[in-house]
A and B are shown apart, each in its own frame.
Chain A
């Protein structure tokens, strides 16, 4: 009973903060965002269905034996993608969703049993992961016609990929729960990321080819995967005893020669520490080891992600800005200057290579987008905000890559206006 109560509380707490920003409270803006997402999703789904139909036509002109090999390969590829998605979604939720202070206080200060807290927290994260996984499943389902035409087998495959997903996801969470030191957790995340990368570029095809060449039925593969998923899930569920659920400090004391209110709000977050270290390490690796400057061009703009947390960091003190006579325009101009400074390495590198101003504009657009998202959806309001803003930023990092200089300039002008309006609304 208490497990369900806590589970419901986490969900309510996660989603209630989603639309608290004054701008997002307006009905027409909510309808606009909802409609845009719906159109985008249907367009994407339609493109996928079209591509699957093309592949199906090609499959009709191959021999039975070759077809079976292809089917086994496709099925094992499906499980590979499920395995990778479990890892990816685990990393996303582990970094992007944390129970906020209110949830932690409610959970730990009130007399709930440890078992109830553990189960409700696990159920909460499993539910979130399943929601994200379903977005991919809906896209993957049309591809099932390439494997089998039988409804029963199709349903079994769908159930088995869910079981495999849950088993792998829960196992990763169990391993994470055994680590208590912050640096161990970072290393674990990096190792997982590295393993997923090497599995995707190398081992995935070797394993899939190995399974494809074996004379086993699709049903055998499906049931074996399901059993593996169930065993992983049960073992990791039983073995997990601990939950590292504590309030953590948000900021690090980094000395600053000229402390500015806005600059300190960006530099002193834990996220800045981790991001700048990662980017600096990767830049050094690209320059000194693999000697590729091209990657560095698109690495520096990623520092724009630090602006995601500005809104949350200044959320409390912002209420006093009118009293301290800090105008929205002053704040906007100060932040714009900081963005230019942060993206300066991109500008220098871009001008020395053939990219010119494009990378600089790309970085500025990412920074402004991160700033807007961070102010609209501050992480301490809801458990989900961090996840949503991170996911949107990942999408924007990819989408902005496709723009030419004219598109990026147009986006820049629009983002400037939206940023100023967002800051003004947030301070009002």
Chain B
């Protein structure tokens, strides 16, 4: 599946976003390569989802510019697919109708991929049922099918591995790894296993900015334990246990 946009990158320049005077994203500048896997980690509430929502036009930014090789916003959106952590799905549609509707929005979509993905994710039967009847994991799967078949240059996925059975996690990991040779996957995840095993660039969202971090699990654990905040919370655990 080739696109004509293989040498182009998505730039974020001086992005800022605040909620009630609290700066969630602070003068963030970043370049997302148009191939490969980028993993973003960070504490709950540090702004990862806000960043994704801004990039995918779900919320407005306070300051900053996004650009994708001088394309208009409309054109840029045709090259980005977003799987949010919350489900913004039309529950009254079947999986098939939803995928067809979504793929119609993307000019480079590859409808033939759908049948492969349905088999891979054991989704053939559920595909024709209403999304309302889907479990949590099934709702994740239908979004993954739409994302991969959309054939967009960028796929932004927020906690996409949550709720998936382990077999699907392994398969999806393998699939994303192979697809990342020609497409870019930007993932938010808390799964240590994936951070360690994916060939990716790992960044941490901290104080409104993205900082490169190590992928080594033991080193990451050591880094977290060094933080003063972590040590304080360890004391809270001890106090709580003593109180029981």
Contact = CB atoms under 8 A, between A and B. Distances in A.
B230 to A, nearest CB: 32
Contacts of B56: 323
Interface residues of B, number: 26
Contacts of B88: 316-320
B82 interface: yes
Contact of B58 (A269, A322, A325): A322
B132 interface: yes
Given A253-B130, A316-B88, A323 B93 contact: no
Contact of A269 (B84, B92, B94): B92
Contact of B132 (A249, A265, A319, A324): A249
A268 interface: yes
A261 to B, nearest CB: 6
B63 interface: no
A251 B130 contact: yes
A320 B130 CA distance: 19
Contacts of A249: 132-133
A48 to B, nearest CB: 44
B77 A325 contact: yes
A314 interface: yes
A2 B215 CA distance: 50
A324 B102 contact: yes
B92 A265 contact: yes
B217 interface: no
Contacts of A316: 87-91
B57 interface: yes
Contact of B93 (A264, A320, A325): A264
Most interface-central of B88, B100, B133 (chain A CB within 10 A): B88
A323 B91 contact: no
Interface string B75-103: 00110101010011111111001001110
A325 B105 contact: yes
A260 B84 CA distance: 23
Given A261-B101, A319-B58, A323-B56, A251 B91 contact: yes
B222 interface: no
Contact of A323 (B77, B94, B100): B77
B58 A320 contact: yes
A272 to B, nearest CB: 10
B162 to A, nearest CB: 18
A313 interface: yes
A259 B93 contact: yes
Nearest to B96: A259
B10 to A, nearest CB: 15
Given A324-B102, A325-B77, A313 B92 contact: yes
Given A250-B132, A251-B130, A323-B56, A314 B105 contact: no
B167 interface: no
Contacts of A264: 90, 92-93, 97
Interface in A304-341: 313-314, 316-320, 322-325
Contacts of A317: 88-90
A251 B132 contact: yes
A314 B130 contact: no
Nearest to A261: B101
Nearest to A268: B92
A147 B124 CA distance: 72
Interface in A232-291: 249-251, 253, 259, 261, 264-265, 268-269
Interface of A: 249-251, 253, 259, 261, 264-265, 268-269, 313-314, 316-320, 322-325
Given A313-B90, A323-B56, 19 more contacts: A249-B132, A251-B130, A259-B93, A261-B101, A265-B90, A313-B92, A314-B90, A316-B90, A317-B88, A317-B89, A317-B90, A319-B88, A320-B88, A322-B57, A323-B77, A323-B82, A325-B77, A325-B78, A325-B105
3 closest A-B pairs by CB: A317-B90, A268-B92, A251-B92
